[in-house]
């Protein structure tokens, strides 16, 4: 079934209302087998194009995953990137910042992890936490040693969005394509998944009391996400709001978006010039002896 990824893309300047966007859509697969075949097809396309990305060595791809707990970030990353050559792919998970990280500006820790040319970088959480969890819990800002005049600036958050947009535009100009995924989960589906994590011993480790505490701030998070998505979805670095109540469907949508982005890049395998061709021919002759 054809996936029109534009249906999930946040247009630049659009005001996002998450309640109006679905957490579940009609599945793009008709059975488990059909899902596996469709995902395998996407993965095949991804691996072929990843080799080209690597050889061409001009562009890189940065995939950012943000979501409420239990929305399926880890599973999406694992399944979508499963066929990709590990040498061409780097995954970073960003948790609570360390003391060293807090001693720098808020873009420092992630900037160090940006993908090299020819690579795919994946951020499991990212600098977007700085306008999400930090906005929901502004007391975190106290630990960031920010100068008083910046902290009291009425446009503090607006300026954080601007810093992010500026960074992503800079990356675009320099060959990094940024794609951002918000896994849109319903509160009810999160409740079910949390319960599963408590009931299933194999999943117990995935659940902490902090997850439950953050669920108490659901409304605040949805508000922070709405503003963030509205302010930072741009032509160069779009957000996709991916319905996440059905994990399989979410994986198909995400892999399709990534595949399309790779297809849009004009790339080719480096062709040898005349001198190089001569050299190759000479080496062939020597080997043939």
Q: Specify the stretch interacting with Mg ion by CB under 5 A; choose among 67-75, 90-98, 134-142, 227-235.
A: 67-75
User: For the CA atoms of the chain, what is the radius of gyration?
Assistant: 21
* Minimum distance of Mg ion from residue 43's CB (angstroms): 26
Residue 255 CA to residue 243 CA, distance in Å, equals 14
* Minimum distance of ligand ATP from residue 130's CB (angstroms): 5
Residues engaged in binding ligand ATP (CB under 6 A): 69, 74, 93-97, 124-125, 129-130, 133-134, 140
Nearest one of 103, 224, 234 to 164, comparing CA atoms: 234
- Judged by CB under 5 A, the residue of 69, 130, 189, 245 near Mg ion is 69
* Minimum distance of Mg ion from residue 208's CB (angstroms): 7
Q: Which neighbouring-strand residues pair with 241?
A: 182
Considering the rule CB under 5 A, would residue 129 count as an interface residue with Mg ion? Answer: no
Nearer to Mg ion, 76 or 120 (CB): 76
Q: Specify the stretch interacting with Mg ion by CB under 5 A; choose among 68-76, 127-135, 185-193, 269-277.
A: 68-76
Nearer to Mg ion, 213 or 287 (CB): 213
Nearest one of 43, 95, 89, 96 to 62, comparing CA atoms: 89
- Write the DSSP string, 22-78: -S----S-SSHHHHHHHHHHHHHHHHHHHHHHHHH-S-EEEEEEEESTTSSHHHHHH
* Minimum distance of Mg ion from residue 181's CB (angstroms): 17
Binding partner of residue 130 among Mg ion, ligand ATP, none, CB cut-off 5 to 8 Å per kind: ligand ATP
Q: Cα–chain-centroid distance for residue 41?
A: 21
Residue whose Cβ sits closest to Mg ion: 69
Beta strands in 232-274 (DSSP E): 239-243
Q: Which residues bind Mg ion (CB under 5 A)?
A: 69
């Amino acid at each position: 079934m054809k996936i029109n990824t534009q249906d999930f893309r946040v247009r630049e300047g659009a005001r996002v209302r998450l309640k109006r966007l679905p957490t579940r859509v009609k599945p793009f697969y008709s059975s488990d087998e059909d899902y596996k075949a469709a995902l395998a097809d996407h993965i095949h396309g991804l691996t072929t194009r990843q080799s080209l990305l690597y050889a061409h060595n001009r562009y890189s791809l940065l995939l950012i995953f943000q979501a409420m707990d239990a929305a399926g970030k880890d599973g999406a990353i694992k399944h979508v990137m499963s066929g990709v050559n590990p040498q061409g792919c780097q995954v970073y998970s960003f948790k609570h910042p360390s003391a060293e990280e807090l001693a720098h500006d808020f873009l420092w820790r992630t900037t160090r992890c940006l993908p090299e040319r020819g690579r795919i970088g994946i951020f499991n959480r990212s600098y977007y936490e700085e306008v999400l969890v930090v906005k929901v819990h502004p007391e975190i800002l106290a630990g960031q040693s920010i100068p008083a005049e910046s902290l009291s600036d009425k446009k503090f958050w607006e300026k954080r969005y601007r810093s992010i947009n500026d960074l992503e535009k800079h990356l675009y100009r320099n060959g990094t394509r940024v794609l951002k995924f918000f896994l849109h989960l319903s509160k009810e589906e999160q409740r079910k998944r949390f319960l599963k994590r408590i009931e299933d011993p194999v999943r117990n480790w995935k659940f902490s009391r902090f997850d439950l505490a953050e669920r108490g701030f659901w409304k605040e998070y949805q508000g922070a996400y709405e503003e963030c998505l509205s302010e930072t979805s741009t032509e160069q670095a779009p957000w996709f709001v991916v319905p996440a109540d059905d994990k399989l469907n979410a994986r198909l949508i995400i892999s399709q978006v990534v595949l399309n982005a790779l297809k849009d890049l004009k790339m080719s395998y480096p062709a040898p010039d005349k001198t190089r061709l001569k050299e190759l021919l000479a080496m062939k002759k020597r080997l043939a002896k």
